[in-house]
Amino acid sequence: MATPIISNTGTNYTLYYNVVNYFRTIMSNHPSIAIATLGDIAEFDNKQFPAYPIGNLQILESDFGTSVTNFRVQLMIADKVKNKDNESKPINNEQTIPYYGVNDKVDIFANTLAILNDLTSYTQRGVQNFEINEDIICTPFADSFDNGLAGWTAEFTLTTHNDKNRCLFFLIVPNLQGFVIEDCLTSERYKAILDPSQYPSVVGGVFSTLKSPGLSNTYGNLLCYTIVEPIEDDDWNFVNLPILQPGIIQTCQLCNLWINPKIWSTTPAAWSGADAEFRTWSTV
C-alpha cells in the first residue's frame, strides 16, 4: 500500500528531515521504482541492490533567503543494464540484433527519464508550498559504476517557505511578559512575548500587529490577536511582537475593520482625527 503524502500546508519543509521524507515517499509510491535510497551516488560503486530500478535522493546544498529555504536537489533513477536475448538462425548462427544494440540501455534511458518527469511534475503541480523556478537539468549516465547501472540524474533548486518567526529559542533571556494570544480570523493560539512599553497588555484586549517582523506597516501585512492569558514558558512562537496603532482594541470586529480597508488608500500609520483609533468605514 502506498505511503500517504502529508499535506505540506501544515508541514515545515524548511526542515531537512521533512524534505528527505517527502522525496523518499513519492519515490517509494511510484509504481516503477523498486527501492528508494538517500546518499552520495558515488557510493553506488560498492552496492548491489535486491531489486531495480532504484531512486536516490541527494541534497547537494541549501541556502536561506529572507523568507524561504532553497535546496539544491539531485534525484537519480537507475536500472541494471541487461543483455538482450537476440534471435539467431541455427544454420549459420546469424543474429538479429536490434538497431539500438545488444542490451537494454535505450529502454533504461527512456524509462528512467519518464520516471524523473513524473517525480518533478508531481512536486511542481501536486503539492503546495514547493516551487521549482528554473529548468530541471537532466543528465544521462552509463558505465559510471562498477555494478553496471544506467539511467538519469536530475538537478534543480527546490524553494519552500521559511517562517523564521516560529520555533525560536533565546540566546539572551528576554525580560518581557509572555501571553497566549489568539488569531481573530483563524482562532489559532500562539505563545508570544509582547513589549509592554508600547501599550499596556490587557487580558481580553485585541491588538493589531505585523504578520512577520520587518514587514512594512501596510494592510496586507497586518493581523489581529486577542490576548487570552499571561503565561511563563521557554518555547515561544513570537518574540517582541509590535503592537500597532490604535493600541489595545476591545473587539476582533473593530480590529479587522482597522486592518482591512474599504475605500481608504492611506496606511494605518497616517490615520488621524477623532475616530482614528476606531476607524469607521463608508459603504459607498
pLDDT at 231: 86
Nearest partner of 73 among 28, 32, 13, judged by Cα: 13
25-41 residue pLDDT tens: 999 999 999 999 998 87
Nearest partner of 44 among 191, 161, 147, judged by Cα: 147
Task: Name the one residue in this structure whose C-alpha cell is 489595545.
Answer: 248
167-194 residue pLDDT tens: 455 555 555 678 899 999 899 999 888 7
Domain limits of the chain? 16-161, 177-270
pLDDT at 265: 52
Question: Is 238 exposed, middle or buried, given 0-12, 13-18 or 19+ CB atoms closer than 10 A?
Answer: buried
Q: Which CATH architecture has domain 16-161?
A: 2-Layer Sandwich (3.30)
**Higher model confidence: residue 238 or residue 268?**
238
Amino acid at 235: D
Please report which helix (H) or strand (E) contains residue 150, including its range.
Answer: strand 149-161
Residue 23 backbone zone (phi > 0: left; psi -120 to 50: alpha; other: beta): alpha
Percent residues over pLDDT 70 in the chain: 68
Taking 50 as the threshold, does the pLDDT of residue 239 lie above it? yes
Under 8 Å between Cβ of 225 and 211: no
SS3 content of the chain, % helix, strand, coil (to 5): 20, 30, 50
State the cell numbers at 41.
Answer: 551516488
**pTM of this prediction?**
0.55
Q: Give the count of beta carbons closer than 10 Å to the beta carbon of residue 24.
A: 17
State the cell numbers at 180.
Answer: 497566549
Q: How confident is the model at residue 263 (pLDDT cuts 50, 70, 90)?
A: very low
Q: How confident is the model at residue 258 (pLDDT cuts 50, 70, 90)?
A: confident
Tally of helices (H runs) and strands (E runs) in the chain: 3, 13
Report the C-alpha gap between 229 and 93 in whole angstroms. Answer: 89
Report the C-alpha gap between 207 and 112 in whole angstroms. Answer: 55
Task: Name the one residue in this structure whose C-alpha cell is 509582547.
Answer: 194
105-147 residue pLDDT tens: 888 999 999 999 999 999 988 777 788 988 999 999 987 666 6
Amino acid at 194: L
188-214 residue pLDDT tens: 999 888 766 665 567 888 888 888 766
Task: Name the one residue in this structure whose C-alpha cell is 537476440.
Answer: 86
Under 8 Å between Cβ of 137 and 165: no
pLDDT at 123: 92
